[in-house]
């Protein structure tokens, strides 16, 4: 599969659109569908959070300065913020509720 590359503006627009979609799911009139959607989003988050945590632990133990260098990239920094990794090390991650 060919990688898809977005510039920072396009990436920001995608993030904003996803946020809007998530807000829309909270307005779904059918409660069963609303709960199912919330559950899918929760597990989608966990599906990415765990491997990202392990990647960051490996980086921090083998290349301690690399995380700071990676954070200079807008999209990487936003991903770290999204998964609560931006100001803490990967050992103290907690899921926002």
Alpha-carbon span 55 to 11, nearest angstrom:
22
* pLDDT on residue 94: 35
User: What is the overall mean pLDDT for the chain?
Assistant: 87
- The CA dihedral of 68, 76, 35, 95, to the nearest 10 degrees, is 0
Report how far residue 67's alpha carbon sits from residue 47's, in angstroms, rounded to the nearest whole number: 21
- pLDDT (average), residues 40-52: 95
pTM of the model: 0.74
């Amino acid at each position: 599969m060919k990688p898809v590359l977005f510039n920072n503006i396009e990436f920001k627009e995608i993030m904003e659109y996803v946020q809007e979609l998530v807000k829309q799911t909270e307005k779904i009139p059918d409660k069963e569908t609303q709960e199912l959607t919330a559950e899918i989003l929760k597990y989608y988050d966990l599906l990415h959070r765990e491997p990202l945590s392990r990647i960051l632990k490996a980086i921090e133990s083998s290349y301690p300065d690399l995380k700071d260098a990676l954070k200079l990239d807008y999209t990487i920094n936003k991903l770290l913020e999204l998964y609560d990794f931006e100001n803490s090390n990967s050992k103290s991650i907690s899921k926002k509720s």
